[in-house]
Structure 1
Amino acid sequence: MFFIDQLFIQQDHQDGGLPLVGRHVIERIDLETGEKLPPSVNQKILEGSFSTKLTVRCDGYRVRVEGNPSRWQRVDNLVGLRTIDECVEIYNHVLSLLDLPPFTKNTRFAHRQSPDGKKSTLLGNGAEITLIDWTRNHEIGKGKEQSFIRGLSSMQIGRGRAPKLYPDGNTCNWGEGSEWMMSKLYNKSVELKRHLKKDQRKKECPTEQTVSYINNLIDYCEGVGVVREEHSLRQKFLKRHNLQFYGIVTEDDFYHHLQDIETAMNTIQISHDEHQTIADQLLFSGVVKSRQAANATQSYFVMWQHGADLRQILKSSQFYEHKARLKAIGIDIGQKFDVSRMCPTLRRSEVIHVKPFHAPAWYQMPVVANSNVLPFKAYA
Structure 2
Amino acid sequence: MTSIDWTRNLSVGKGREPSFIRGMSSMQIGRGRRPNLFPNGMTCGWGYGSSWALNKLYCKAWELKEHLKKDKRKKDGVTKQQLNYIEQLINYCEEYGVVRDEMSMKQLFLKKYNLQFYGLTTENDYYAHLQDIENAVKTIQINHDEHKTIADQLLELGVVSSRQAANATQSYAIMWQNGSDIRQVVNRSLYFEHKSRLKQIGLDIGQPFDVTRMCPTLRRSEVIEVNPLPIPNWYHMPVASKSNVMPFKAIA
Question: What TM-score do you get using the length of structure 1 for normalisation?
Answer: 0.42
State which of 196, 210, 216 in structure 1 corresponds to 2:88.
216
Distance 2:238 2:76 in 1: 24
Residue 354 (structure 1) aligns with: 226
- Asked if residue 264 in structure 1 is aligned to residue 119 in structure 2, the reply is no
Residue 160 (structure 1) aligns with: 32
Deviation (angstroms), 1:207: 1.4
Distance 2:229 2:144 in 1: 19
- Asked if residue 251 in structure 1 is aligned to residue 123 in structure 2, the reply is yes
- Normalized per residue, the structure richer in helix is 2
Distance 1:270 1:146 in 2: 17
Deviation (angstroms), 1:271: 6.3
Name the SS of the counterpart of 2:121 in structure 1. Answer: coil
Name the SS of the counterpart of 2:3 in structure 1. Answer: strand
Distance 1:161 1:188 in 2: 23
Name the SS of the counterpart of 1:138 in structure 2. Answer: strand
Deviation (angstroms), 1:199: 1.4
Determine what percentage of the aligned residue pairs are the same residue.
62
Residue 371 (structure 1) aligns with: 242
Distance 1:270 1:181 in 2: 28
State which of 187, 193, 200 in structure 1 corresponds to 2:59.
187
Name the SS of the counterpart of 2:36 in structure 1. Answer: strand
* Structure-to-structure mapping, 1:45-64, within 5 angstroms: none
Deviation (angstroms), 1:270: 6.2
- Equivalent position amino acid for 2:226 in 1: V
* Structure-to-structure mapping, 1:176-325, within 5 angstroms: 176-204=48-76, 206-269=78-141
The Cα RMSD (Å) is 2.1
Conserved 8 A contact 1:270-1:351: no
- Asked if residue 132 in structure 1 is aligned to residue 4 in structure 2, the reply is yes
Conserved 8 A contact 1:182-1:233: yes
Name the SS of the counterpart of 2:19 in structure 1. Answer: helix
Conserved 8 A contact 1:137-1:229: yes
Distance 1:194 1:244 in 2: 33
- Asked if residue 149 in structure 1 is aligned to residue 149 in structure 2, the reply is no
Deviation (angstroms), 1:269: 2.5
Name the SS of the counterpart of 1:229 in structure 2. Answer: strand
- Equivalent position amino acid for 1:356 in 2: P
Superposed CA offset, 1:129-167 (max 9, x none):
000010000000000000000011000000000000001
Deviation (angstroms), 1:203: 2.5
Distance 1:272 1:196 in 2: 38
Superposed CA offset, 1:52-105 (max 9, x none):
xxxxxxxxxxxxxxxxxxxxxxxxxxxxxxxxxxxxxxxxxxxxxxxxxxxxxx
Give the count of matched residue pairs.
169
Distance 2:68 2:127 in 1: 31
Residue 191 (structure 2) aligns with: none
* Structure-to-structure mapping, 1:165-176, within 5 angstroms: 165-176=37-48
Distance 2:102 2:117 in 1: 21
- Equivalent position amino acid for 1:351 in 2: V
Deviation (angstroms), 1:360: 1.2
- Equivalent position amino acid for 2:82 in 1: T
Residue 205 (structure 2) aligns with: none
- Equivalent position amino acid for 1:371 in 2: K
Distance 2:62 2:142 in 1: 21
Distance 2:67 2:141 in 1: 32
- Equivalent position amino acid for 2:223 in 1: V
Conserved 8 A contact 1:147-1:271: no
Distance 2:144 2:16 in 1: 6
Question: What TM-score do you get using the length of structure 2 for normalisation?
Answer: 0.63
Larger-Rg structure = 1
- Equivalent position amino acid for 2:229 in 1: F
Distance 1:154 1:194 in 2: 26
Name the SS of the counterpart of 2:118 in structure 1. Answer: coil
- Normalized per residue, the structure richer in strand is 1
Name the SS of the counterpart of 2:2 in structure 1. Answer: strand
Residue 317 (structure 1) aligns with: none
Distance 2:117 2:88 in 1: 39
Distance 2:113 2:82 in 1: 41
Residue 212 (structure 2) aligns with: none
Call closer, same or farther: CA 1:188–1:138 in 2, change over 3 Å.
same
- Equivalent position amino acid for 2:122 in 1: T
Poorly superposed stretches of 4+, deviation over 3 Å: 270-273
